[in-house]
Amino acid sequence: MRPSTHTVLIGAGGQLAFDVLRSHPGEGQITGLKHADLDLCDHAKVADVMKSLRPTHVVSLAAFHNTDACESDYTRAFAVNCYGVLNLARVCRDLDIVCAYVSTDYIFGGSKREPYTEADRPDPINVYGMSKRAGECAVEAYASRSFIFRVSGLYGVAGSAGKGGNFVDNRIRDARLGKPIRMVDDQVLTPTHCGELASAIWSVLATDCYGTYHLTQSGQCSWYDFTAEIFRQCGLSPQLERQKTSESGAAARRPRYSVLENARLKAIGLPDMKPWREALNDYLVEKHGVARISDW
């Protein structure tokens, strides 16, 4: 970022926000706002805060992202993931602020069997995906200078308060407690390390190449494959069994395939993100002190 920039990070108490804040390139100013500081559903408050801070960029990480809970509490899902984003986009338009919104792979329904690019048509199959796609539409319609970042399967050192930690740490905990573990093998995606994702976000924000970006690790795996790789790198051997999505008891439908291709990132000349196994190792080295694996 340029020295004259001032970035406001909304949702600053979350898992991804921790890495976005600590990977700030050091040029320009950054201000983090938590929900207690700013409720996006209050349009007047959003306008007042932005007029006071006068940022050049706003990055919104605020979301109601409990996929199953969104199915029953769809009013809250759309209030946070759509109407709050609409408020922000309108204020960004009025004050000429660059607006960045973090979205999800769940805006796709999973009918493809090859990675989705930014040009593919969204077709969400659950309330969470619908509400996030509606938020994307709000940004596209109102914020003339904007970025949309679609991400997938996030895990970061801060953990997710809304999900009781993160997927990696929870599987390690279960294994050490001796719990039998069953994971679905028919949902394919690309788990993504928040640390590298945060760096990619800053790299794109430093450009004027506005638009939609897919930002995930490279490669793909099922949740079962990802879990097995976590245990392999940690030297753990718990009881791990496969199951189908239909056996999981989840309230919301999940796309069977939601792998994203970082086509736009590469098109503007920025490097692709690491393979998912290598990124997982980076995380495990930092968070759990496992050995660095150099031979991939």
Q: Are 53 and 32 in contact (CB under 8 A)?
A: no
Pairing of strands 154-155, 192-193: parallel
Query: Any idea which residue has 């930002």 for tokens?
Result: 215
CB 244 within 8 A of CB 185: yes
Alpha helix ranges (H) inside the chain? 15-22, 43-53, 67-72, 74-78, 84-95, 127-142, 167-176, 194-205, 223-234, 263-267, 276-288
Alpha-carbon gap, residue 160 to 91, rounded angstroms: 28
Catalytic annotation on 83? no
Identify whether the C-beta of residue 131 lies closer than 8 Å to the C-beta of residue 76: no
- Using an 8 Å Cβ cutoff, are 179 and 164 in contact? no
Element at 181 (helix H, strand E)? strand 181-184
Identified catalytic residue from 128, 142, 213, 257: 128
Supply the residues annotated as catalytic.
Answer: 128
